[in-house]
Amino acid sequence: MFTRSRSRLNRPEEEEDRLEDDGQGAGEGSQPDMQPSEILNLCRAEMQGVLQNELADINEKLSALMLNMPAPQNLQSRGGMSMKIKPQIYDGKEEWEPYRAQFELIAQKERWDDDQKAAMLGASLKGQALTLLTELGPDMSYHDLLEALEIRFGSRHQTTRYLALLQTRVQGADEDVRTFHQAIKDLVRRAWPDARGGAAEDTAIFHFARGLGDARLCELVLGASPKTMANALNDAVRMEAVLQWNNCEGITAYLRVNFQLSSSEVQPARSGSGNNKKKERTDGEKIGGKRRAVDSGGPIVKDVRSNLVRDEPISFRSVFPK
C-alpha cells in the first residue's frame, strides 16, 4: 500500500519534467502556453488529492480493525456505570436464608466465579459464623462453605425449635396487632420453609387468632373465616377498632348506673363557657365523692380510674375525644 503511495507521489515530479521537456521543445517553434508557477500549482493540487485519498483509505482500515478487536473483560461497561457492591457482614444472629439470597444477587451482578464467592463470603463472616472457617480449613470450596452455614444457621435444620416457638407465641402486652401478625408469619415460614399457601396458611391464621391478647377479638377473627393471613390482619384491625368503640360506650353506661349521673352529665364537655367548666367541676365532685373503683374496660377506663384515685375532676372531653 505504501509502495503504491510512493509511486503516486512521484508522478507529479515526472509530470513536471515532462512538461519542462515539452516546453523546451515548444520553445523552439512557439511560446509556451503555461508559466512555471502555474505548472507548480497544478502539481501541488494533484499531490494533495493523492494524499487525501490515501489518508481516507488508512482511516477506513483502522476503523474496521478497531471494531473487530475484542475488548478486555475488565474494561467492559456494565450498563454505562461501574458497579462495586460489597456484601454485608453476617454474624449468625440474623436469618441465613435472606442473607444468602442477597449475597447470591451481588455475586451475579459482580460476575464472581466460585473462588471469588468463597473469598468474599469468608471475608464477610463474623462472630459465631467466623468459627466455621477454622473447621473447614483453607482448601474449602464455595459449596463446602455454603453447606456448613446452612447446617449451622439455616431454618431447615431448626424446624422443631420454630414449631415449639409457634405453639407458645402470644401477643405481648405492648405489642400491636400488626407486629404480632408479622411475627407469626416469620415463625411459620421458618417452621415450614418449603410450604407455600394451603395448610401452612391455615396454620398461620389459626395461631395468629389464637395468640391475640383479647379473647373476644380472637373469637371474632376465627368466626370471620379469613382465607389468607392478609385477610386475617384486616379483620383483626377492623374488629379491634369496633371493640374499642364498644368499650367507650360501655364506660358511659357504667358511669350512668354506678355514679347516678344523668345523660346530660356524661356528655363531652365543650370549652369556651364558664357554665360548662362549672358543670365539669360538679361532675367531678360527684364521681370523686363516690370513690368507686373501675375494674375493666381498657385504657380509657384506666384514665377514669386514675382521676378517681387522685380525686380530680374528670373532663369527659379528654376521656372521649372526638
pLDDT tens for 218-228 read 999 999 999 99
Band of pLDDT at residue 55, cut at 50, 70 and 90: confident
Q: Nearest to residue 155, comparing CAs of 202, 118, 189? A: 189
115 located within any domain: yes
Q: Which amino acid is at 315?
A: S
Cα-Cα-Cα-Cα dihedral sign, residues 123, 124, 127, 128: negative
Q: How many CB atoms within 10 Å of residue 288?
A: 18
C-beta of residue 123 within 8 angstroms of C-beta of residue 140: no
CA distance 227 to 209: 13
What are residue 78's DSSP bridge partners? 81
53 located within any domain: yes
What are residue 125's DSSP bridge partners? 90
- Domain endpoint, select from 245, 269, 290: 245
Do 223 and 270 belong to one domain?
no
Do 236 and 164 belong to one domain?
yes
Query: What is 102-163 written as a DSSP string?
Result: HHHHHHHHHT--HHHHHHHHHHTB-GGGGHHHHHH-TT--HHHHHHHHHHHH-GGG-HHHHH
Element (H, E) at 230: helix 229-258
- Domain endpoint, select from 218, 245, 272: 245
Band of pLDDT at residue 77, cut at 50, 70 and 90: very low
**Cell digits of residue 216:** 373476644
Tell me which residue range forms the domain holding 152.
96-157
Question: Which residue is associated with the grid cell 364521681?
Answer: 287
Band of pLDDT at residue 155, cut at 50, 70 and 90: confident
Do 173 and 239 belong to one domain?
yes
Q: How many CB atoms within 10 Å of residue 304?
A: 19
Cβ contacts of residue 180 below 8 Å, gap of 6+? Answer: 171, 172, 208, 211, 212
Half-sphere exposure of 270 (CA within 13 A, CB side): 5
12 located within any domain: yes
Q: What's the pTM value of the predicted model, to 2 decimals?
A: 0.43
Provide the 3-class DSSP secondary structure of residue 231: helix
Do 216 and 233 belong to one domain?
yes
81 located within any domain: no
Do 169 and 239 belong to one domain?
yes
Q: Phi first, then psi: give them for residue 184, nearest 5 degrees.
A: -65, -40
Band of pLDDT at residue 74, cut at 50, 70 and 90: very low
70 located within any domain: no
91 located within any domain: no
Look at residue 31 and tell me whether its pLDDT is greater than 70: no
Do 172 and 224 belong to one domain?
yes
When divided into structural domains, the chain yields a total of 4
